[in-house]
Amino acid sequence: MMRNLEKTEVQKLPRVSIAVFGMFLAIALLNLSQTSVTQWAPRPDIECENGEEVHRYAQVNATRVNIRDQPTVFSNVLTQKSTPDRITVICEFGVWSRIELLDVGTETWISMGLITLVTKQPLSPRLKIVYLGLLIVGALGLLIALYRPGWITRAIDLLLQTQDLPAHAKPLISVVPQYHPARDGKH
């Protein structure tokens, strides 16, 4: 009786582990497949003296839009952009957006009303860590569950601290079932 119970319980654990780690891997791959390479680009290393520091992609939505050196209509016009030019917004100050155009000037500003945010925005650092973490945990966990399932049972026993329990208590919590007279009957 004990040998049959032990075989079934130990065989179920790797299947559950494979399913759980496979789910982590599937979620990571699904999310990664829906991102583009440009979404992984880091924020430009430009400080934001005025306004809130952001990292967004936008598209100019008008013809001959002035790009200025300060966030005001009275400042100098450095260049012009038109639809469908893409820009990277790095700061927001009131109704103005500071954009990355280092070849034109160190500070370049555009009115927020003349740009439209694109659908595929850059990923936040926290989201990058979550996606990569799910991928690593899913892949490594799946490999361990397939090729070293004993490691999982030992890790669970370690986390539950069952290795230090007296012999009569181990069957109640341990991943690997052991004979217990009250539960399994007297044999």
Q: What is the pLDDT along the chain (187 residues), one digit of tens a residue?
A: 444 444 444 456 668 889 999 999 999 999 999 999 999 999 999 888 888 999 999 999 999 999 999 999 999 999 999 999 999 999 999 999 999 998 998 899 999 999 999 999 999 999 999 999 999 999 999 999 889 888 887 887 777 765 666 666 665 555 556 666 666 766 5
Chain centroid offset of residue 132 CA: 6
Domain range for 171 is 2-34+125-179
Kindly tell me the burial class for residue 75, based on how many C-beta atoms sit within 10 Å of its own C-beta (0-12, 13-18, 19 or more).
middle
Q: How does DSSP classify residue 77?
A: E
Q: What is the pTM of this model?
A: 0.69
Residue where a domain terminates, one of 72, 91, 117: 117
22 within domain boundaries: yes
Same domain? 134 vs 168? yes
Residue where a domain terminates, one of 93, 117, 141: 117
Contact 43, 122 (CB under 8 A): yes
